Amino acid sequence: MQVLKFGGSSVADATRMSQVIDIVLAAAAKDRTIVVSSAISGCTDALIAIGAEQDPASRAQQIEALRRRHHAIARRLFTGDERREMVTELDTLFAELADAEPEACVTFGELFSTRILARKFACEDVATQWLDSRKLVRTLGGVVAEGLTYANILAAVQAAPDVRLFVAPGFIASDGDGKVTTLGRGGSDYSAALFAAGARASALEIWTDVPGMMTANPKVVPAAVSIPDISYNAALTLAENGAKVLYAPTVKPAMEAGIAFSIRNTFDPRHPGTLVSGRPAVKEGEWMGVTSRTLADKGESVVCLVGEAVASRASASARMLAALSEAGIQPLGGVTGEGDAFFIRVRPTVENAAVGAIHREFFEHRAVTVIPVFIAGYGAVGHELVRLIGLSADRIATRRGRTIRIMGLSNSTRFAIDLRGIRPEDAEARLADGENAAGGAFIDAVLAAAPRGAVFVDCTNDHHIHERYAELFRGGLNIVTSNRRSLSLPFVQYAALKAEARQNGAFFRYDTTVGNSLPILESIASDANCSDSIVSIEAVVSCTLNYIITGYDGAKRDSLATLLRRAQDEGLTEADPRTDLGGKDVLRKLLILAREAGVPLEADDVEIVPMLGPEFFDCPLDAFYERLAAYEPQFIAREAELDAVDQRQRFVASLRRDSAAPHGYRAEIKMQRVGPDSPFYWISGTENVTVVTSEYSAPLVIKGAGEGVRLAATGIIKDILM
C-alpha cells in the first residue's frame, strides 16, 4: 500500500487535476494506493469566509462562485452521463453547504475535490472507493486519537480487498461526539500520514508545488535548492520553524511507523524531491536548511538553522554570528537551541536579510564575488550611489551572488582608498580625512592600487576626467560613467576610447548618460547589434526643457523665467541654464544615441534650432533673464495658438534615415509641434520619452523619469552588475 497526497495547488483546476490523475494512475498500476487530497486552492479560505458571512445574499453569492469553479472542473473532466452525475453530486454537497452551520462550512472543500477525483478514477476503470475521513479519523479533546484512527483505517482498507484505489479527503475528521472537525490549516499532510500509518503503507508521497523541502524559502532566497535527503527530526524542526511546505504534525505518525516519505512537485514529476526518513543518506555535519518565523506578539523573528549530526555547535554558532555581522545585522541575543538546531532572534525588518546571510554562509558554497569599485564624484549622484550600495548590498548578494565593495572614493578636493572597503556610512568621514585630490591624484592612486577587474565609476561633471579613461582601461579597470563628455567627443576619439576598452577586455558602460536609468541605450544597441534596421530615433530627453515647456501645458501659471529659475534651483540645469536651452546637452545625448545605433555622428552634422534666438545667448545672465521676460508674451501667444488646435510644442532630438544626409541619417534638434497622437504630447514634468522605430517591429516607446538621483544611482548599479 502507498499513500499519495496532493495539495490545493496540485488540484487547483482541471488542467492540474489531469496531471494529478496521470501521476495517480501510474502509481496505482504498481501498488494499491490511497489518494489523500486537499481542497482546490483558495477553497478553504473561501469556505471560512462563507462561514463567517452574516449577509445571506452575499453568502449565497460566495457559495455560487465556489460552485462555479467546481462545475468548471467537472465540465472539463467529464462528458455525457458522467458529467451530469458529477454535477448532481456536487450540487447535493453545495446544497448541504448552503444549510450548514457556520463552523462546519470549512469541512466541505475536501469533499468537493475528492468526489471529483474518485469519480474520475472510477471512469478510468480503476476499482476505486471513496473513504469518508470524517468516520475514520477521530479526535478526542482536540488531538487525534491515533489508536482508534489507525484501527478504523486498517479495517476500511481490509474490508475492501478488491479496491485498487482509495480516495480520502484530507484535513477533515470528527470528534468524540461524532461532530465533524478539522486537523488545522494545512492539515491534509497530516491526514495523509495518518492514512499511511493506519494502512501500514510502505510509502508516502506528499505532492505539492515545489520540488520538496528547500534549503530556504525560495521566495526569500532565490539561491535555495531542494534538499534530497533529510531525517525526520531535521524535517520536523524546519517545519516547526517556518518551512511551510510541510505541516509539522505530519512527521510523527510517519516516523513512529517507520515510513519514509517524500515531498514532490506535481509540476515536475520527474524531480525526486525530498526524501524524509530515519536514515537519510547524508554526510555527518551536513547542513539542511534555514527557516524563519515572525513572532508578531513579541515584535521579533526567529531564524532557525538545521543540520544533521552537527560536529561542533560552537563553531557553527560563531559562523552564524559572523554571517550576520558581515551583513550588518545585529542579532537580539545569542545563538540558542540544542543538538542540530540553531536559533537566533532578529528584528522582523531584517528577518529575510538574516535568512539570506545565513543561507549564503552555510549553503552557497560558491563564495560571493566581490566587485571592487572606485567612485569619482561625491556630488548628488555619487552620494546617492554610495548610500544605495550600502542599502542594497544584501539583496544584490542574495540575488546575484556578488557584492559591490567601495575601495576608493573622491570628491573634487579629497580622496580615500581602502582595499578592505569603505563602509557607506563612513564615506563622509573617510573623505574628510582623505588625501589631497589635486592634480589627478585620485586616478594615480587608483591605478596604483586597484585589483584587476575593478570598476571605476565616474559620476563627476568634470570636463577633463575622460582624458584618463584610456589609462584606466590599460590599468585593468572597467569604467561606468554618467558623465556625458567622454561620449560626445569627436567620433575618432570616442571610437578610440571604445577600442581601448575592448583591447583590454574591459567594459565601458554609460547607460545613464541618456534618459537616466531608462533602458534607452541598451534597447538601441540590441537593435543595432542584430541588424541595421533602425529607421529613426526621436527623443525628448532634456529635463530642463521638458520641465519648462510642460510647465506651460494647460495651466500656464508661472512665467518662463520663474520656471527656469526653479529648474535651476532643483539642480536640473547646468550652472548656466542656457547650456540646456541652447540644446548643447541634448546634442550630447543625440550623439550618444546615434553612435549607439552605429551612426558616426559628429556635432557638426546636427542641425540645432534652439528654443530662443541668438540674442539670448550672447549676453550676461541678468540681461538674459530680462530678455526672457520681454519675450514672454510672444511665447504665451504661440502656446495659445497651439492650444487652440490641440497641439503642444516639444524640444525633440531626432535621427532619421535619409540617404542624402552625411551618414545616411539626418539629425536635428528643434521645437516640434505634436498632437495627442504623439507620445511626446503626453509627458509631464521632467519625463523623458524616446521612440525607436525599426524596420522589423512597431515603434518602441521608452518613457519614464529622466531625472532623479535615486534613479541615476540605480542605473549606475545596473551598469556595474550587468
Nearer to Mg ion, 244 or 556 (CB): 244
CB nearer to ligand ASP: pick between 174 and 410? 174
Nearest distance, CB of residue 247 and ligand ASP, angstroms:
7
Segment near ligand ASP (CB under 6 A); pick from 186-194, 299-307, 338-346, 541-549: 186-194
The stretch near ligand ASP (CB under 6 A) out of 184-192, 260-268, 592-600, 641-649 is 184-192
Q: Pick between residue 38 and residue 481 the one whose CB is nearest to ligand ASP.
A: 38
Cβ 165 to ligand ASP, closest distance in Å?
20
In angstroms, give the least distance from the CB of 125 to ligand ASP. Answer: 29
Cell of 364: 552557497
Q: Which is nearer to ligand ASP, 35 or 303 (CB)?
A: 35
19, 267 Cβ separation under 8 angstroms: yes
Distance of closest approach, residue 188 Cβ to Mg ion, in angstroms: 6
Q: How far is the CB of 60 from ligand ASP (least distance, A)?
A: 22
Residue 185 in contact with ligand ASP, rule: CB under 6 A: yes
Select from 53-61, 182-190, 385-393, 631-639 the region that touches ligand ASP (CB under 6 A): 182-190
Contact residues for 602 (Cβ-Cβ < 8 A; gap 6+)? 490, 491, 591
Rank residues 109 and 337 by Cβ distance to ligand ASP and give the closer one. Answer: 109
The nearer residue to Mg ion, 40 or 236, going by C-beta atoms, is 40
Minimum CB separation of residue 260 from ligand ASP in Å reads 21
Residues 630-659, mask of contacts with Mg ion (x by CB under 5 A): ------------------------------
Q: Could you give phi then psi for residue 530, rounded to 5 degrees? A: -100, -10
Q: Classify 651 as helix, strand or coil.
A: strand
Q: Give 114 or 410: the residue with its C-beta nearer to ligand ASP.
A: 114
* C-alpha span between 78 and 75 (Å, rounded): 6
Query: Grid coordinates standing for 645?
Result: 488646435
Among residues 443, 451, 452, 445, which one has the least CA distance to residue 470? 443
* Residue with Cβ nearer ligand ASP (182 or 460): 182
Give the nearer residue to ligand ASP in terms of CB position, either 116 or 320. Answer: 116
Q: Which of 3, 100, 153, 186 binds ligand ASP (CB under 6 A)?
A: 186
Query: What are the two backbone dihedrals, phi and then psi, of residue 710, each rounded to the nearest 5 degrees?
Result: -60, -45
Query: Rule CB under 6 A: is residue 8 a binding residue for ligand ASP?
Result: yes
Min dist. Cβ of residue 133 to ligand ASP (A): 12
Calculate the CA 628 to chain-centre distance.
48
| Distance in Å, CB of 39 to ligand ASP, minimum | 4
- Could you say whether residue 170 binds ligand ASP (CB under 6 A)? yes
Q: Which of 51, 169, 187, 211 binds ligand ASP (CB under 6 A)?
A: 187
What cell numbers appear for 127 in the block?
A: 476499482
Cα R_g (the chain), whole angstroms: 34
The contact mask relative to ligand ASP for 453-492 (x = CB under 6 A, - = no) is: ----------------------------------------
Q: Using the minimum distance from each CB to ligand ASP, give the nearer residue, 135 or 244.
A: 244
User: Binds 170, which of Mg ion, ligand ASP, none (CB < 5 to 8 A, cut-off by type)?
Assistant: ligand ASP
From the list Mg ion, ligand ASP, none, partner contacted by residue 39 (C-beta under 5 to 8 A by kind): ligand ASP
Provide the mask over 105-144, with x wherever binding to ligand ASP is found by CB under 6 A and - wherever it is not. Answer: ----x-----------------------------------
User: How far, in Å, are 211, 378, 435, 441, 457 from residue 412 at the CA level?
Assistant: 54, 8, 11, 11, 14
- Interacting stretch for ligand ASP, rule CB under 6 A, among 26-34, 179-187, 290-298, 314-322? 179-187
Name the DSSP letter for residue 25.
H
# of chain residues touching Mg ion (CB under 5 A): 3
Least distance (Å) from ligand ASP to the CB of residue 48? 9
Least Å distance, CB 8 to ligand ASP, is 5
User: Which 8-state DSSP code applies to residue 375?
Assistant: E
Q: How many CB atoms lie within 10 A of CB 700?
A: 16
Residue with Cβ nearer ligand ASP (109 or 377): 109
- By beta-carbon proximity to ligand ASP, the closer residue of 191 and 231 is 191
Question: Residues 25-44 vs ligand ASP: string with x where CB under 6 A?
Answer: -------------xx----x
CB closer to ligand ASP out of 170 and 582: 170
Q: Exposure of 313 by Cβ count < 10 A (0-12 exposed, 13-18 middle, 19+ buried)?
A: middle
| Closest residue to Mg ion in the complex (CB) | 8
- Among the candidate windows 185-193, 293-301, 425-433, 509-517, which touches ligand ASP by CB under 6 A? 185-193
CA distances from 642 to 479, 681, 689 (A): 45, 12, 21
d(CA 412, CA 379): 9
Number of residues that bind ligand ASP (CB under 6 A): 13
- CA 612 centroid distance within chain: 46
- Give the footprint of Mg ion on residues 1-40 (CB under 5 A): 7-8, 38
Name residue 458's beta-bridge partners: 376, 481
Q: How far is the CB of 113 from ligand ASP (least distance, A)?
A: 9
Sheet holding 274-277: strands in order across? 128-130, 165-169, 33-37, 2-6, 203-208, 261-265, 274-277, 229-231
* Residue choice 188, 208, 486, 542 for contact with ligand ASP (CB under 6 A): 188
Query: Residues of 137-165 as b/e, b for ≥16 C-beta within 10 angstroms?
Result: bbbeeeebbbebbbebbbebbeeeeebbb
Q: Which three cell numbers stand for residue 318?
A: 560563531
Nearest one of 386, 360, 387, 391 to 373, comparing CA atoms: 386
For ligand ASP, the closer CB: 108 or 232: 108
CA pair distance 443, 25, nearest whole angstrom: 70
Q: Exposed (0-12), middle (13-18) or buried (19+): which is 656, by Cβ within 10 Å?
A: middle
Cell readout for 536 is 529613426
Q: Which residue's CB is nearer to ligand ASP, number 50 or number 472?
A: 50
Q: Using CB under 6 A, which of 78, 108, 171, 415 touches ligand ASP?
A: 171
Q: Is residue 245 within 8 Å of residue 206, measured between CB atoms? A: no
Neighbouring residues of 309: CB distance < 8 A, sequence distance ≥ 6: 284, 285, 286, 340
Q: Based on CB atoms, which residue is closest to ligand ASP, 170 or 356?
A: 170
Determine whether 245 is exposed, middle or buried from the number of CB atoms within 10 Å of its CB (0-12, 13-18, 19+). Answer: buried
Pairwise CA distance, residues 340 & 237, whole Å: 9
Q: Which residues pair with 705 in a beta bridge?
A: 687
Residues 6+ apart with CB under 8 A from 82: 119, 123
Q: Which of 488, 519, 674, 709 is nearest to 584 (CA)?
A: 488
CB of 44 to ligand ASP, least distance (A): 4
- Smallest gap, in angstroms, from Cβ of residue 350 to Mg ion? 29
HSE-up (13 A, CA, CB side) for residue 351: 19
Per-residue contact track with Mg ion, 604 to 633, x per CB under 5 A?
------------------------------
Greatest Cα pair distance in the chain: 104
Q: What is the contact surface with ligand ASP in residues (CB under 6 A)?
A: 7-8, 38-39, 44, 109, 170-171, 185-189
Q: What is the contact surface with Mg ion in residues (CB under 5 A)?
A: 7-8, 38
